[in-house]
Structure 1
Amino acid sequence: MKQVRVAKQVEEATRDIIATDEQIRTLVEQLTVWEEMREDLHVRALVSETPQATADLSGIERQCDIAKAAIAEQRGRKQQLEKLLENLMIEWEPKVVS
């Protein structure tokens, strides 16, 4: 019975790792777009020197910071899941069907 539970936990951890990987990829792609926007807004803020341009730049910088923090959090989660999976794989004794 314990092996059935461990097998389910292995499956769940594997699914969670895959989902976390996808979240990381999505966040990295979005961050790349926002960083390009930030560069453009930085130039506009320097050229126009208007409060709106400065506010736009500040907003995109906040978005970039939030995305970076989310990426770091997801990478930490992935490491935890990988460690969990590693421990589960030590316990797991899959049945071989011949």
Structure 2
Amino acid sequence: MKQRRVAQRVEEATRDILTTDEQIRTLAEQLVIWEEMRDDLHVRALVSETPQATADLSGIERQCHIAQLALDVQRNRKNELEQELEILMNEWEPKVVS
């Protein structure tokens, strides 16, 4: 691969890693909030035993599950990008300007 193309891919992979890392942080923070909400709704569902409380709990459980899956996807994506970047860095021969 031409060095210019390798350099471009290094930049792209680095940007993608940073973007993915930010998405991971955001999802993780949101998941913590939703899990706290789930705990509260679980207690409410136990105390009130109403269909609405059960439905609310079910909804937040689904949301937590979806968020966890999305978080796993982003973590896998970051790992793939880091592996790609490592390969590219081995191919790249940056020019040193004096």
TM-score range, shorter chain: over 0.9
Indicate whether 1:73 and 2:66 are aligned: no
Which amino acid counterpart does residue 61 of structure 2 have in structure 1? E
Q: Which TM-score applies when normalising by structure 2?
A: 0.98
Q: Which TM-score applies when normalising by structure 1?
A: 0.98
Tell me the residue number matched to 1:6: 6
Q: Which 4+ residue blocks in structure 1 deviate beyond 3 angstroms?
A: none
Percent identity over the alignment?
78
Instruction: Give the aligned CA root-mean-square deviation in angstroms.
Output: 0.9
CA shift, 1:31, in A, is 0.2
CA shift, 1:5, in A, is 0.5
- Unpaired runs of 5+ in structure 2? none
Deviations 1:45-89 (A, max 9, x none): 000000000000000000000010001000000000000000000
Tell me the residue number matched to 2:94: 94
Tell me the residue number matched to 2:32: 32
Deviations 1:16-64 (A, max 9, x none): 0000000000000000000000000000000000000000000000000
Give the distance between the partners of 2:91 and 2:38, measured in 1 at CA.
48
Tell me the residue number matched to 1:17: 17
- Unpaired runs of 5+ in structure 1? none
